[in-house]
Amino acid sequence: MIQLYIPLNFLGVLYREIKQSLTDLDKMFVLMEREREVEDRPDALPLPLAGEGGGEGAWTVKFEHVDFSYEAARPILHDVSFEIPAGKTVAVVGPSGSGKSTLARLLYRFYDVRAGHITIAGRDIRDVTQASVRHSIGIVPQDTVLFNDTVEYNIAYGRPGATHAEVEEAARAARIHDFIQSTPKGYQTMVGERGLKLSGGEKQRVAIARTLLKNPPIMIFDEATSALDSANERAIQAELKGVARNKTALVIAHRLSTIVDAHEILVMEAGRIVERGTHAQLLAQSGRYAAMWALQQQSSEPEKFVDVIGL
Ligand code: ATP
């Protein structure tokens, strides 16, 4: 795509980077309106809010025969179908470039599918407003973008207008409160490129706190590939589990140990689902997942899918 090589302007590049990193910075959409790749239909209505949409299954997410390509000449996803029943977790694993993050970008409607449908609560996401889709989804990305602003602002971004008490409650639940208190100005400490630099784990906790404040019915977790130390990682996984309780969740996983309880695990390869089932069913299939599991069990450092199946 030419625009990848000849960026028109800095904002355009920034926008694309942010879109790639799956960060839900709706603000950016306002700033860069003309960069939008999808538009609301003139008759688009919002998704019904929890309680209005009608009971059980309201927040079920479905991909039905989805095909997608970023550029016409290079198909990326082929006939992808799966369902995340309301309140359940579906995990996606597979080698780098197999299309895992693309599923998340499509659910957040950064792009529209080329064929098939994605539905939330039974509505095709192309028929409802983007704002309501994005309002219903919280993302904990691999790399959280922090604004050059205070810790308070960065957490409250999850729900503009949140009170300090609510911000603090979210920070406590995300286990970042004590760290914040230890910084020179507590919640008023400046962070980001021009402020205090946070570690990968601390940034993820800020993202978890943001998401807790937003309290959306649907969650996307993009598990970090970069190694956190394992104590930190286990703690973050425990916090994520807490956040995901009763949410409809899509987890892009690199460590299989994090997803053994998932309702369904999808193994992707070159844009197709090549194996699927629960952890136990996949082990019984003795296929790619089972091989990967065996290798991750042997190794003290979790290896990435790609490294062990040699793709
Ligand atoms: P990883 O585990 O490395 O994050 P992934 O499985 O999430 O990989 P995707 O990011 O979904 O993979 O990418 C799937 C394919 O789509 C890759 O071949 C990638 O090069 C391509 N791709 C991703 N984003 C774009 C884009 N904006 N324009 C064109 N091609 C893209």
* 142 CB within 6 A, ligand 1: no
Residues 168, 263: Cα–Cα separation, whole Å: 32
Q: Dump pLDDT digits (tens) for 55-99.
A: 545 899 999 999 999 998 999 999 999 999 999 999 999 998 999
- Is residue 213 within 8 Å of 158, Cβ to Cβ? yes
Whole-model pTM: value is 0.83
Compute, in angstroms, the gap from residue 17 CA to the centroid of ligand 1.
12
Q: Is the CB of 287 under 6 A from ligand 1?
A: no
| The ligand 1 atom nearest the CA atom of 4 | 28
Is residue 144 within 8 Å of residue 99, measured between CB atoms? no
* Residue-wise pLDDT tens digits, 154-210: 999 888 889 999 999 999 988 899 999 999 899 999 998 888 888 888 888 898 899
Task: Measure the CA–CA gap between 14 and 107, rounded to whole angstroms.
Answer: 21
> According to the model, what pLDDT value does residue 63 have?
98
Cβ–ligand 1 contact at 76 (below 6 Å): yes
* pLDDT-wise least confident of 28-42, 136-150, 243-257: 28-42
CA of 102 to the centre of ligand 1 (A): 6
The two three-digit tokens of residue 272, written as one number: 């197709």
Report which protein residue has its CA nearest ligand 1's atom 21: 97
Q: Is the pLDDT of residue 151 over 50?
A: yes
Angstrom CA distances, 67 to 93, 113, 250, 253, 271, stand at: 18, 6, 18, 22, 9
Ligand 1 and 99: CB distance under 6 A: yes
- CB of 102 sitting under 6 A from ligand 1: yes
Distance CA 189, CA 196 (A): 7
**Mean pLDDT of the 37-49 span:** 84
